[in-house]
Chain A
Amino acid sequence: RKEVEQDPGPFNVPEGATVAFNCTYSNSASQSFFWYRQDCRKEPKLLMSVYSSGNEDGRFTAQLNRASQYISLLIRDSKLSDSATYLCVVKTAGGYNKLIFGAGTRLAVHP
Chain B
Amino acid sequence: SQTIHQWPATLVQPVGSPLSLECTVEGTSNPNLYWYRQAAGRGLQLLFYSVGIGQISSEVPQNLSASRPQDRQFILSSKKLLLSDSGFYLCAWSVASGGPRDPYFGPGTRLTVL
**A residues lining the B interface (CB < 8 Å):** 4, 8, 41-46, 49, 87, 95-104
Contacts and interface: CB of A to CB of B under 8 A. Distances in A.
Contacts, number: 49
B43 A97 contact: no
Nearest to B39: A103
Chain B interface helix/strand/loop/mixed:
strand
6 contacts: A43-B108, A96-B32, A97-B32, A99-B44, A99-B46, A102-B43
Interface residues on B, range: 20 to 34
Contacts of A44: 44, 90, 105
B87 interface: no
B101 A46 contact: yes
Residue from B94, B105, B108 with most neighbouring chain A CB atoms (10 Å):
B105
Interface string B71-98: 0000000000000000010100010001
Interface of B: 32, 34, 36, 41-46, 49, 51, 88, 90, 94, 98, 100-108, 110
Contact of A97 (B88, B102, B107): B102
B109 to A, nearest CB: 10
Contacts of A42: 107-108
Contacts of B32: 96-97
B43 A96 contact: no
Residue from B51, B103, B107 with most neighbouring chain A CB atoms (10 Å):
B103
A103 B42 CA distance: 5
Given A43-B107, A49-B100, A96-B49, A4 B43 contact: yes
